[in-house]
A and B are shown apart, each in its own frame.
Chain A
Amino acid sequence: MSNTENQGDVWEVFIQSKPGLPHKHAGSVHATDKEMALQNARDMYTRRQEGTCLWVVPLNAITSSMPEDNGSFFEPSDDKIYRHPTHYVMPEGAKHI
Protein backbone atom coordinates (compact mmCIF):
# COMPACT_ATOMS: atom_id res chain seq x y z
CA MET A 1 0.00 0.00 0.00
CA SER A 2 1.33 3.41 -0.87
CA ASN A 3 1.91 5.59 2.14
CA THR A 4 1.70 9.29 1.45
CA GLU A 5 4.73 10.01 3.62
CA ASN A 6 3.42 9.72 7.15
CA GLN A 7 -0.31 10.37 7.04
CA GLY A 8 -1.32 6.73 6.50
CA ASP A 9 -3.44 5.40 3.67
CA VAL A 10 -6.79 6.67 2.50
CA TRP A 11 -9.78 4.51 3.45
CA GLU A 12 -13.23 5.12 2.04
CA VAL A 13 -16.02 5.11 4.63
CA PHE A 14 -19.51 3.68 4.16
CA ILE A 15 -22.28 4.10 6.74
CA GLN A 16 -25.46 2.14 7.19
CA SER A 17 -27.79 4.59 8.89
CA LYS A 18 -30.23 1.94 10.14
CA PRO A 19 -30.75 -1.78 9.80
CA GLY A 20 -32.35 -2.60 6.47
CA LEU A 21 -30.78 0.27 4.56
CA PRO A 22 -27.77 -0.02 2.25
CA HIS A 23 -24.35 1.25 3.29
CA LYS A 24 -23.77 4.64 1.76
CA HIS A 25 -20.49 6.38 0.98
CA ALA A 26 -19.78 9.13 3.51
CA GLY A 27 -16.21 10.23 2.79
CA SER A 28 -12.73 9.07 3.66
CA VAL A 29 -10.22 8.90 6.50
CA HIS A 30 -6.50 8.39 6.83
CA ALA A 31 -5.27 5.44 8.87
CA THR A 32 -2.34 3.05 9.03
CA ASP A 33 -4.38 -0.09 9.76
CA LYS A 34 -7.97 -1.28 9.64
CA GLU A 35 -8.75 -0.86 13.35
CA MET A 36 -7.52 2.71 13.23
CA ALA A 37 -9.54 3.27 10.06
CA LEU A 38 -12.71 2.08 11.80
CA GLN A 39 -12.07 4.20 14.88
CA ASN A 40 -11.26 7.29 12.84
CA ALA A 41 -14.36 6.74 10.73
CA ARG A 42 -16.46 6.46 13.89
CA ASP A 43 -14.99 9.67 15.34
CA MET A 44 -15.35 11.59 12.09
CA TYR A 45 -18.61 10.43 10.58
CA THR A 46 -20.81 9.22 13.45
CA ARG A 47 -20.57 11.89 16.13
CA ARG A 48 -24.36 12.26 16.09
CA GLN A 49 -25.67 8.69 15.92
CA GLU A 50 -25.55 8.66 12.13
CA GLY A 51 -25.04 4.95 11.84
CA THR A 52 -25.56 1.40 13.02
CA CYS A 53 -22.76 -0.09 10.92
CA LEU A 54 -19.55 1.18 9.34
CA TRP A 55 -17.44 -0.20 6.49
CA VAL A 56 -13.94 1.02 5.74
CA VAL A 57 -12.29 0.03 2.47
CA PRO A 58 -8.73 0.85 1.38
CA LEU A 59 -8.97 3.29 -1.51
CA ASN A 60 -6.67 1.24 -3.69
CA ALA A 61 -8.95 -1.82 -3.31
CA ILE A 62 -11.68 0.01 -5.22
CA THR A 63 -11.85 -0.32 -8.98
CA SER A 64 -13.81 2.45 -10.65
CA SER A 65 -15.15 2.84 -14.17
CA MET A 66 -13.79 5.89 -15.94
CA PRO A 67 -16.10 8.79 -16.80
CA GLU A 68 -14.46 9.28 -20.23
CA ASP A 69 -15.53 5.71 -21.14
CA ASN A 70 -19.11 6.23 -20.01
CA GLY A 71 -20.45 6.28 -23.57
CA SER A 72 -19.26 2.84 -24.61
CA PHE A 73 -19.22 1.39 -21.10
CA PHE A 74 -22.90 1.95 -20.39
CA GLU A 75 -23.97 1.61 -24.03
CA PRO A 76 -25.36 -1.95 -23.69
CA SER A 77 -28.33 -0.67 -21.70
CA ASP A 78 -29.14 2.22 -24.04
CA ASP A 79 -31.34 0.32 -26.49
CA LYS A 80 -33.18 -1.95 -24.08
CA ILE A 81 -36.16 0.09 -23.12
CA TYR A 82 -38.13 -3.17 -22.82
CA ARG A 83 -36.44 -3.53 -19.43
CA HIS A 84 -38.72 -0.80 -18.11
CA PRO A 85 -42.33 -1.56 -17.16
CA THR A 86 -43.57 1.48 -19.08
CA HIS A 87 -42.58 -0.26 -22.35
CA TYR A 88 -45.60 -2.54 -22.19
CA VAL A 89 -49.11 -1.72 -23.41
CA MET A 90 -51.78 -2.63 -20.89
CA PRO A 91 -55.41 -3.17 -21.85
CA GLU A 92 -57.61 -0.20 -21.01
CA GLY A 93 -59.16 -0.55 -17.56
CA ALA A 94 -56.84 -3.26 -16.19
CA LYS A 95 -56.15 -2.62 -12.51
CA HIS A 96 -53.38 -3.37 -10.03
CA ILE A 97 -50.75 -4.05 -12.71
Chain B
Amino acid sequence: MEDLKKLEEFQAKIDAEIKIEPKDWMPDDYRKHLQRQISQHAHSEVIGMQPEGNWISRAPSLRAKVVLLAKIQDEAGHGQYLYSAAETLGKSRDEFIDELQSGKAKYSSIFNYPTLTWADMGAVGWLVDGAAIVNQVSLQRTSYGPYSRAMVRICKEESFHQRQGYEIMAAMAKGTPEQKAMAQDALNRFWWPSIMMFGPHDSDSPNTGNAVKWKIKRETNDELRQKFIDKTIQQAEIIGLTIPDPDLKWNEDRGHYDFGEMDWDEFWRVVKGHGPCNKQRLNHHKKAHNDGAWVRKAAIAYAKKQNEKQLVA
Protein backbone atom coordinates (compact mmCIF):
# COMPACT_ATOMS: atom_id res chain seq x y z
CA MET B 1 0.00 0.00 0.00
CA GLU B 2 2.74 2.38 1.01
CA ASP B 3 4.62 1.47 -2.13
CA LEU B 4 1.56 2.34 -4.17
CA LYS B 5 1.52 5.79 -2.66
CA LYS B 6 5.25 6.17 -3.24
CA LEU B 7 4.80 5.03 -6.81
CA GLU B 8 2.15 7.69 -7.35
CA GLU B 9 4.40 10.37 -5.90
CA PHE B 10 7.25 9.12 -8.05
CA GLN B 11 5.16 9.27 -11.23
CA ALA B 12 3.92 12.75 -10.28
CA LYS B 13 7.51 13.95 -10.01
CA ILE B 14 8.36 12.42 -13.39
CA ASP B 15 5.29 14.03 -14.96
CA ALA B 16 6.29 17.40 -13.47
CA GLU B 17 9.78 17.02 -15.02
CA ILE B 18 11.46 16.85 -11.61
CA LYS B 19 14.65 14.81 -11.88
CA ILE B 20 15.11 11.70 -9.78
CA GLU B 21 18.29 11.71 -7.68
CA PRO B 22 20.21 8.72 -6.24
CA LYS B 23 18.79 8.92 -2.71
CA ASP B 24 15.17 9.37 -3.85
CA TRP B 25 12.73 6.50 -3.66
CA MET B 26 12.31 4.76 -7.03
CA PRO B 27 10.54 1.62 -8.20
CA ASP B 28 12.78 -1.43 -8.47
CA ASP B 29 12.09 -1.73 -12.17
CA TYR B 30 13.15 1.87 -12.75
CA ARG B 31 16.43 1.18 -10.94
CA LYS B 32 17.00 -2.05 -12.84
CA HIS B 33 16.18 -0.50 -16.19
CA LEU B 34 18.65 2.31 -15.54
CA GLN B 35 21.37 0.00 -14.30
CA ARG B 36 21.02 -2.02 -17.47
CA GLN B 37 20.78 0.92 -19.84
CA ILE B 38 23.52 3.10 -18.33
CA SER B 39 26.01 0.27 -17.90
CA GLN B 40 25.32 -0.91 -21.44
CA HIS B 41 25.98 2.63 -22.58
CA ALA B 42 29.24 2.72 -20.56
CA HIS B 43 30.36 -0.65 -21.97
CA SER B 44 29.70 0.66 -25.48
CA GLU B 45 31.97 3.65 -24.93
CA VAL B 46 34.76 1.45 -23.61
CA ILE B 47 34.47 -1.33 -26.21
CA GLY B 48 34.05 1.40 -28.84
CA MET B 49 37.67 2.37 -28.32
CA GLN B 50 38.85 -0.85 -29.94
CA PRO B 51 37.75 -0.45 -33.58
CA GLU B 52 39.38 2.98 -33.63
CA GLY B 53 42.43 1.95 -31.64
CA ASN B 54 43.07 -0.38 -34.56
CA TRP B 55 44.09 2.63 -36.68
CA ILE B 56 46.17 4.79 -34.31
CA SER B 57 49.49 3.43 -35.48
CA ARG B 58 48.46 3.64 -39.14
CA ALA B 59 46.83 7.08 -39.21
CA PRO B 60 47.83 8.79 -42.49
CA SER B 61 49.15 12.00 -40.88
CA LEU B 62 50.26 13.32 -37.54
CA ARG B 63 47.16 15.53 -37.38
CA ALA B 64 44.90 12.55 -38.02
CA LYS B 65 46.75 10.63 -35.34
CA VAL B 66 46.48 13.21 -32.54
CA VAL B 67 42.82 13.74 -33.38
CA LEU B 68 42.11 10.02 -33.28
CA LEU B 69 43.95 9.70 -29.98
CA ALA B 70 41.97 12.59 -28.48
CA LYS B 71 38.73 11.04 -29.65
CA ILE B 72 39.54 7.66 -28.17
CA GLN B 73 40.60 9.29 -24.90
CA ASP B 74 37.23 11.09 -24.83
CA GLU B 75 35.51 7.73 -25.21
CA ALA B 76 37.39 6.35 -22.22
CA GLY B 77 36.23 9.43 -20.31
CA HIS B 78 32.64 8.96 -21.44
CA GLY B 79 32.72 5.36 -20.25
CA GLN B 80 33.91 6.61 -16.86
CA TYR B 81 31.19 9.27 -16.58
CA LEU B 82 28.60 6.63 -17.34
CA TYR B 83 29.98 4.03 -14.93
CA SER B 84 29.96 6.75 -12.27
CA ALA B 85 26.31 7.50 -13.02
CA ALA B 86 25.44 3.79 -12.98
CA GLU B 87 27.20 3.28 -9.66
CA THR B 88 24.92 5.81 -7.95
CA LEU B 89 22.20 3.17 -8.35
CA GLY B 90 23.90 0.90 -5.85
CA LYS B 91 25.93 -1.55 -7.91
CA SER B 92 29.72 -1.51 -7.89
CA ARG B 93 31.92 -0.97 -10.89
CA ASP B 94 33.35 -4.45 -10.48
CA GLU B 95 29.91 -5.93 -10.84
CA PHE B 96 29.29 -3.98 -14.03
CA ILE B 97 32.63 -5.02 -15.50
CA ASP B 98 31.98 -8.58 -14.49
CA GLU B 99 28.62 -8.54 -16.27
CA LEU B 100 30.31 -7.26 -19.41
CA GLN B 101 33.05 -9.85 -19.36
CA SER B 102 30.71 -12.73 -18.61
CA GLY B 103 28.45 -11.70 -21.48
CA LYS B 104 25.49 -10.98 -19.20
CA ALA B 105 25.56 -7.30 -20.14
CA LYS B 106 25.57 -6.14 -23.75
CA TYR B 107 27.19 -3.25 -25.54
CA SER B 108 26.26 -1.64 -28.82
CA SER B 109 26.47 -4.24 -31.57
CA ILE B 110 28.02 -1.77 -33.98
CA PHE B 111 31.40 -2.35 -32.34
CA ASN B 112 31.34 -5.98 -33.37
CA TYR B 113 32.07 -4.94 -36.94
CA PRO B 114 35.70 -4.68 -38.05
CA THR B 115 37.35 -1.44 -39.22
CA LEU B 116 39.06 -2.58 -42.40
CA THR B 117 40.30 0.65 -44.00
CA TRP B 118 41.12 4.23 -43.00
CA ALA B 119 37.79 5.28 -44.53
CA ASP B 120 36.15 3.26 -41.76
CA MET B 121 37.47 5.86 -39.30
CA GLY B 122 35.47 8.34 -41.33
CA ALA B 123 32.35 6.19 -41.38
CA VAL B 124 32.56 5.43 -37.66
CA GLY B 125 32.88 9.10 -36.72
CA TRP B 126 30.26 10.32 -39.15
CA LEU B 127 27.65 7.57 -38.83
CA VAL B 128 28.27 5.72 -35.58
CA ASP B 129 29.01 8.82 -33.53
CA GLY B 130 26.32 10.66 -35.48
CA ALA B 131 23.73 8.08 -34.50
CA ALA B 132 25.00 8.05 -30.92
CA ILE B 133 24.68 11.84 -30.75
CA VAL B 134 21.03 11.77 -31.86
CA ASN B 135 20.34 9.30 -29.08
CA GLN B 136 22.40 11.18 -26.50
CA VAL B 137 20.94 14.60 -27.26
CA SER B 138 17.55 13.09 -26.51
CA LEU B 139 18.88 11.45 -23.33
CA GLN B 140 20.06 14.78 -21.93
CA ARG B 141 16.43 15.13 -20.83
CA THR B 142 16.26 11.69 -19.23
CA SER B 143 14.57 11.65 -15.82
CA TYR B 144 17.50 10.31 -13.78
CA GLY B 145 19.72 13.21 -12.64
CA PRO B 146 23.19 11.61 -12.78
CA TYR B 147 22.49 10.07 -16.21
CA SER B 148 21.19 13.34 -17.54
CA ARG B 149 24.24 15.25 -16.28
CA ALA B 150 26.60 12.70 -17.82
CA MET B 151 24.77 13.08 -21.14
CA VAL B 152 25.06 16.86 -21.12
CA ARG B 153 28.80 16.58 -20.61
CA ILE B 154 29.16 13.86 -23.24
CA CYS B 155 27.16 15.76 -25.86
CA LYS B 156 29.36 18.80 -25.39
CA GLU B 157 32.45 16.73 -26.09
CA GLU B 158 31.04 14.48 -28.75
CA SER B 159 30.29 17.00 -31.46
CA PHE B 160 33.91 17.09 -32.61
CA HIS B 161 33.83 13.32 -33.04
CA GLN B 162 31.23 13.40 -35.75
CA ARG B 163 32.87 16.31 -37.51
CA GLN B 164 36.27 14.60 -37.62
CA GLY B 165 34.67 11.52 -39.18
CA TYR B 166 32.76 13.52 -41.76
CA GLU B 167 35.93 15.45 -42.59
CA ILE B 168 37.71 12.17 -43.39
CA MET B 169 34.80 11.02 -45.57
CA ALA B 170 34.64 14.34 -47.40
CA ALA B 171 38.39 14.36 -48.04
CA MET B 172 38.39 10.81 -49.39
CA ALA B 173 35.29 11.39 -51.51
CA LYS B 174 37.16 14.28 -53.16
CA GLY B 175 40.35 12.24 -53.61
CA THR B 176 41.45 9.73 -56.24
CA PRO B 177 38.85 7.31 -57.65
CA GLU B 178 40.34 4.62 -55.39
CA GLN B 179 39.94 6.82 -52.33
CA LYS B 180 36.38 7.68 -53.25
CA ALA B 181 35.61 4.01 -53.77
CA MET B 182 37.08 3.28 -50.36
CA ALA B 183 34.83 5.91 -48.76
CA GLN B 184 31.78 4.51 -50.56
CA ASP B 185 32.68 1.01 -49.43
CA ALA B 186 32.90 2.16 -45.81
CA LEU B 187 29.49 3.84 -46.11
CA ASN B 188 28.07 0.66 -47.65
CA ARG B 189 29.27 -1.48 -44.78
CA PHE B 190 28.41 0.89 -41.94
CA TRP B 191 25.06 2.32 -43.06
CA TRP B 192 22.75 -0.51 -42.07
CA PRO B 193 24.47 -1.40 -38.78
CA SER B 194 24.41 2.32 -37.91
CA ILE B 195 20.68 2.74 -38.35
CA MET B 196 20.15 -0.49 -36.42
CA MET B 197 22.01 1.11 -33.48
CA PHE B 198 18.68 2.65 -32.46
CA GLY B 199 17.40 -0.84 -31.69
CA PRO B 200 14.36 -2.82 -32.84
CA HIS B 201 11.17 -1.20 -34.12
CA ASP B 202 8.98 0.23 -31.36
CA SER B 203 6.46 -2.54 -32.03
CA ASP B 204 9.15 -5.15 -31.24
CA SER B 205 10.80 -3.36 -28.34
CA PRO B 206 9.55 -4.76 -25.04
CA ASN B 207 11.35 -2.18 -22.88
CA THR B 208 9.94 0.93 -24.51
CA GLY B 209 6.66 1.18 -22.56
CA ASN B 210 7.95 1.78 -19.04
CA ALA B 211 11.04 3.60 -20.27
CA VAL B 212 8.87 6.21 -21.96
CA LYS B 213 6.35 6.43 -19.11
CA TRP B 214 9.21 7.01 -16.67
CA LYS B 215 10.92 9.37 -19.12
CA ILE B 216 14.13 7.36 -19.10
CA LYS B 217 13.78 7.49 -22.87
CA ARG B 218 12.32 10.69 -24.23
CA GLU B 219 11.90 9.47 -27.79
CA THR B 220 11.37 5.98 -29.17
CA ASN B 221 13.80 3.94 -31.26
CA ASP B 222 11.90 4.61 -34.48
CA GLU B 223 11.61 8.35 -33.84
CA LEU B 224 15.34 8.67 -33.21
CA ARG B 225 16.22 6.53 -36.23
CA GLN B 226 14.08 8.72 -38.47
CA LYS B 227 15.77 11.85 -37.13
CA PHE B 228 19.21 10.46 -37.88
CA ILE B 229 18.29 9.33 -41.39
CA ASP B 230 16.64 12.65 -42.23
CA LYS B 231 19.70 14.66 -41.34
CA THR B 232 22.35 12.32 -42.75
CA ILE B 233 21.08 12.01 -46.32
CA GLN B 234 21.93 15.58 -47.27
CA GLN B 235 25.41 15.14 -45.78
CA ALA B 236 26.01 12.13 -48.04
CA GLU B 237 24.71 13.96 -51.11
CA ILE B 238 26.90 16.97 -50.61
CA ILE B 239 30.09 14.90 -50.63
CA GLY B 240 28.90 12.79 -53.56
CA LEU B 241 28.44 9.46 -51.79
CA THR B 242 25.40 7.20 -52.16
CA ILE B 243 23.52 5.73 -49.24
CA PRO B 244 23.11 2.01 -50.02
CA ASP B 245 19.32 1.91 -49.77
CA PRO B 246 17.32 1.79 -53.03
CA ASP B 247 14.08 2.48 -51.11
CA LEU B 248 15.26 5.80 -49.76
CA LYS B 249 12.75 8.45 -50.86
CA TRP B 250 11.47 11.77 -49.59
CA ASN B 251 7.88 11.43 -48.43
CA GLU B 252 6.12 14.75 -48.80
CA ASP B 253 3.12 13.70 -46.69
CA ARG B 254 5.17 12.52 -43.74
CA GLY B 255 7.80 15.23 -44.06
CA HIS B 256 10.40 12.49 -43.64
CA TYR B 257 12.43 10.10 -45.73
CA ASP B 258 11.04 6.61 -46.29
CA PHE B 259 13.67 3.90 -46.10
CA GLY B 260 14.09 0.18 -46.64
CA GLU B 261 13.70 -2.56 -44.05
CA MET B 262 16.69 -3.51 -41.97
CA ASP B 263 18.01 -7.05 -41.71
CA TRP B 264 16.83 -7.93 -38.21
CA ASP B 265 18.12 -11.49 -38.46
CA GLU B 266 21.60 -10.07 -38.79
CA PHE B 267 20.93 -7.64 -35.93
CA TRP B 268 19.94 -10.42 -33.52
CA ARG B 269 22.75 -12.67 -34.74
CA VAL B 270 25.29 -9.99 -33.81
CA VAL B 271 23.56 -9.15 -30.51
CA LYS B 272 23.67 -12.81 -29.58
CA GLY B 273 27.42 -12.94 -30.07
CA HIS B 274 27.82 -14.09 -33.67
CA GLY B 275 29.06 -10.88 -35.26
CA PRO B 276 32.44 -10.67 -36.94
CA CYS B 277 34.31 -9.37 -33.86
CA ASN B 278 32.31 -10.20 -30.71
CA LYS B 279 34.90 -12.65 -29.37
CA GLN B 280 37.85 -10.46 -30.24
CA ARG B 281 36.36 -7.41 -28.49
CA LEU B 282 35.62 -9.24 -25.25
CA ASN B 283 38.91 -11.11 -25.23
CA HIS B 284 40.79 -7.88 -25.69
CA HIS B 285 38.87 -6.27 -22.82
CA LYS B 286 39.61 -9.21 -20.53
CA LYS B 287 43.27 -9.21 -21.48
CA ALA B 288 43.67 -5.49 -20.81
CA HIS B 289 41.81 -5.89 -17.53
CA ASN B 290 43.94 -8.83 -16.41
CA ASP B 291 47.19 -7.28 -17.61
CA GLY B 292 46.39 -4.26 -15.46
CA ALA B 293 45.64 -6.24 -12.31
CA TRP B 294 49.13 -5.73 -10.88
CA VAL B 295 48.76 -1.95 -11.23
CA ARG B 296 45.55 -1.95 -9.19
CA LYS B 297 47.17 -4.24 -6.62
CA ALA B 298 50.23 -2.01 -6.34
CA ALA B 299 48.11 1.14 -6.02
CA ILE B 300 46.08 -0.37 -3.20
CA ALA B 301 49.22 -1.62 -1.41
CA TYR B 302 50.75 1.84 -1.72
CA ALA B 303 47.62 3.55 -0.38
CA LYS B 304 47.54 1.14 2.55
CA LYS B 305 51.15 1.87 3.40
CA GLN B 306 50.56 5.62 3.22
CA ASN B 307 47.55 5.31 5.54
CA GLU B 308 49.56 3.30 8.07
CA LYS B 309 52.36 5.86 7.99
CA GLN B 310 49.83 8.59 8.69
CA LEU B 311 48.42 6.70 11.66
CA VAL B 312 51.88 6.30 13.20
CA ALA B 313 52.86 9.95 12.69
Contact = CB atoms under 8 A, between A and B. Distances in A.
Interface of A: 3-8, 10, 26-30, 32-33, 36, 43-44, 47-48, 64, 66-68
Contacts, number: 60
Nearest to B97: A7
A7 B92 contact: yes
Nearest to B301: A32
Interface residues of B, number: 28
B12 interface: no
Nearest to A3: B300
Contacts of B306: 33
A59 B150 CA distance: 18
Contacts of B302: 32-33
Interface in B111-169: 149-150, 153, 157
Contacts of A4: 92-94
A55 B296 CA distance: 23
Given A8-B300, A27-B150, A66-B23, A47 B94 contact: no
Contacts of A48: 157
B300 A32 contact: yes
A68 B306 CA distance: 39
Given A36-B299, A47-B74, A6 B23 contact: no
**Listed residue (B25, B70, B93, B303) with the most chain A CB atoms within 10 angstroms of its CB:** B303
24 contacts: A4-B92, A4-B94, A5-B94, A6-B94, A6-B293, A7-B92, A7-B94, A8-B296, A27-B85, A27-B149, A27-B150, A28-B84, A29-B80, A32-B299, A32-B302, A33-B306, A44-B80, A47-B70, A47-B73, A47-B74, A47-B77, A47-B157, A67-B21, A67-B24
